[in-house]
Amino acid sequence: MTAKEHGGKDPLIGQVLDGKYRINNLLGQGGMGAVYRATHILMDHPCAVKVLHSSMMTDPSAIPRFQREARAAARIRHQNAIAVNDFGITPDNVVYLVMEFFPGRSLRELLKTEGRFTVERTARIVERVAAALDAAHQQGIIHRDVKPDNVMIRELPNGDDEVKVLDFGIAKIVDSSQAMAESLTITGTIIGTPHYLSPEQCRAATDLDARSDMYSLAVVTYEMLTGSVPF
């Protein structure tokens, strides 16, 4: 993720959140929250902090959805998945989660600046994304938004790529001990990014499984090899 310029001063920048995390600068924004580079002041360790937009606080489902993101991501411990290490709500109702800081660039940025990839590099990156998704699937978690924006890559001096999958914010958590999958989305709502949606996602199906993520990863693979999406 790269820093973005926004009008006006962000009141969080320079503040210490919850007595633990010094907010250094804005990395990016999404539909639910903003992501900052921060420092754990007790450990003197860099991290990324995602803060729920204050405008979302009027939505009674927003905090449970944010908690779900934290819980889902914390269940996935894999070298190719961004680790989530903390979640909290401050006394003044700032809701946040803390992730490992990964100094890479998104696959989306790389495709824009470098164009299509070689078969060898594509295979290497896709294998690592698939490994992270497999770790999630083994925990009963379906990502539902696999796309180049959610794949982070750090290009190493030896020519290799370190790969991380992030943003399980709209993940579907399937618990075999429950009769139904946990869902905090409205029935009939289409979840995901249009170019990468599986057919069942387009139909707003409620019985998604790991195959939906595999479809989306196949679209990403096609884009890496050709420079455009298939549909």
Structural tokens at position 228: 């455009």
- Contact assessment for residue 38 and residue 50, using Cβ atoms and an 8 Å cutoff: no
- Contact assessment for residue 202 and residue 190, using Cβ atoms and an 8 Å cutoff: yes
Catalytic residue (one of 10, 86, 134, 145): 145
Kind and range of the H or E element at 184? none
Signed CA dihedral, 229, 204, 33, 127: sign only: negative
State yes or no: is 145 an active-site residue. Answer: yes
Structural tokens at position 73: 């991501």
- Phi and psi at residue 102, in whole multiples of 5°? -120, 110
Residue 157, SS3 per DSSP: coil
Give me the active site residues, please. Answer: 145
